[in-house]
Amino acid sequence: MTIEEQELSAAFSALNREVNALYHLIARRFGLTMQQAELLCRLHGEPPSFGELASALGCDKTNVTGLVDRLERRGYVSRQTDSADRRVTRVIITEQGRTMGSDIRDAFEQELRTRLPRPDRAQLVALLRASATALADSRPQS
Cβ burial of 30 (10 Å; 0-12, 13-18, 19+) is middle
Answer yes or no: is 44 within a domain: yes
Q: What pLDDT score does 44 carry? A: 84
**d(C-alpha 124, C-alpha 15), whole Å:** 12
Answer yes or no: is 125 within a domain: no
Q: What range does the domain containing 74 cover?
A: 10-120
Q: For residue 100, what is the domain's CATH number?
A: 1.10.10.10
Report the percent of the chain where pLDDT is more than 70: 99
Q: 49 has which bridge partners?
A: 90
**d(C-alpha 111, C-alpha 26), whole Å:** 9
Answer yes or no: is 31 within a domain: yes
Answer yes or no: is 34 within a domain: yes
Answer yes or no: is 128 within a domain: no
pTM of the complete model: 0.84
What residues in the chain have per-residue pLDDT under 70? Answer: 142
Domains identified in the chain, total number: 1
Answer yes or no: is 2 within a domain: no
Answer yes or no: is 27 within a domain: yes
CA distances from 61 to 41, 54, 133 (A): 18, 5, 26
What lies within 8 Å, CB to CB, of 35 at 6+ separation is 57, 59, 63, 67
Answer yes or no: is 56 within a domain: yes
Q: What pLDDT score does 11 carry? A: 94
